[in-house]
Structure 1
């Protein structure tokens, strides 16, 4: 089922978490920030929205590194119900697309709940003070793999944030597959989302 992320809660402070990456070691989200900011992207392996844009996500992450912006991807989906999103398959997905950033497993879904993640992909762009300045789409491609000539919303916003510390006032929300919550947690997760939006 498709879901739409809420608008940016400007100034919301990033929250740290320590999660296992596909290469087998734990990472602190805060340690992955660059001097000018950080993108925290909630993605997964099976979502057609993610599959359509994953190579452009990789390209933009590499570009943002040159602007002092760190990047991390997190998979919070229930792998019991969606085996394609298992940790084993996360490793394969990261290798297949040559991820230049850590791909972290949020097995207990606590990071997704804390951030109020709604869909895959869902992008959170923070400035150098780790204050939220962007909550929007990658670009206007939706599920188009070969989309070209589109405004690169995330990239442009994060370059602006690297230069000024502030994101654009006008932002288009990300749309994607809903986060696949574990049984019995959906009500609590929705409360976390609406509390921040």
Structure 2
């Protein structure tokens, strides 16, 4: 079932956490920031919305490096209820898609709760001061293949953030599968 996150809460401060990455190392979320910002993306391995856009997520993360914007992806889904989202499957998903960013496992779901993540994918774009400036979609494609000239909403917003420190005031929320919460959380 599709889920949509709330609109951007401009100025909300990024929260740090240290999580295990698919490389077996522990990574600080905020340690992935570039001098001009950071995108924190909540994704997973099995969501059809993520699978449909993963190549464009990788492309945009790579292209944002040129603007001094870092990128980190986090999987917070309950891997016991959704084995496709297990840590071992995260390693495969990252390798198969050539992730140029850390892919972190939020097994306790504390980071997703702290951020108020609602769906996969869910993008949080921060400026160089760690203030939220974008909480919107990757692009308008949703689960469909995007046209070659499709506007890159996340990329354009974060380029603006890198250049001005401010995100666009008009943003369209991301749409995706709901975060798969553990019952005990």
By the TM > 0.5 criterion, same fold? yes
Shift of 1:19: 0.2
What is aligned with 1:169?
Answer: 169
In structure 2, the residue matched to 1:39 is 39
Cα distance per residue 1:36-91 (max 9 Å; x no partner): 00000000000000000000000000000000000000000000000000000000
**Which residue matches 1:138?**
138
Aligned to 1:93: 93
The change in CA–CA distance for 1:48 and 1:147 in structure 2 (over 3 A counts) is: farther
Equivalent residue, structure 2, for 1:18: 18
Task: Measure the CA separation in 2 of the matches of 1:146 and 1:170.
Answer: 21
**Which ranges of structure 2 fall in alignment gaps of 5 or more residues?**
none
TM-score (norm 1): 0.93
Cα distance in 2, alignment partners of residues 182 and 148 from structure 1: 38
Distance in 2 between residues matched to 1:140 and 1:153, nearest whole Å: 8
The structural deviation recorded for 1:146 is 4.5
- How big is each residue's C-alpha offset from its partner over 1:129-153, in whole Å with a ceiling of 9 and x where there is no partner? 0000000000000001353321110
Separation (CA, whole Å) in 1 of partners of 2:69 and 2:5:
22
Q: How far off its partner does 1:184 sit?
A: 3.5
> CA offsets per residue over residues 96-143 of structure 1, 9 Å max, x none?
000000000000000000000000000000000000000000000000
- Structure 1 residue 28: Cα displacement: 0.5
The TM-score with structure 2 as length reference comes to: 0.99
Q: Residues of 1 paired with 2:85 and 2:145: CA distance?
A: 20
Q: How far apart are 1:2 and its partner, in Å? A: 0.9
Question: What is the aligned partner in structure 2 of residue 61 from structure 1?
Answer: 61
Q: Look up the SS of the partner of 2:16 in the other structure.
A: coil
Structure 2: distance between partners of 1:114 and 1:147: 35
CA distance in 2, matches of 1:27, 1:149: 35
Deviation >4 Å, runs of 4+: none
RMSD of Structure 2 on Structure 1 (CA): 0.7
Distance in 1 between residues matched to 2:15 and 2:68, nearest whole Å: 20
In the alignment, the residues of structure 2 paired with residue 172 and residue 147 of structure 1 have an alpha-carbon distance, to the nearest angstrom, of: 18
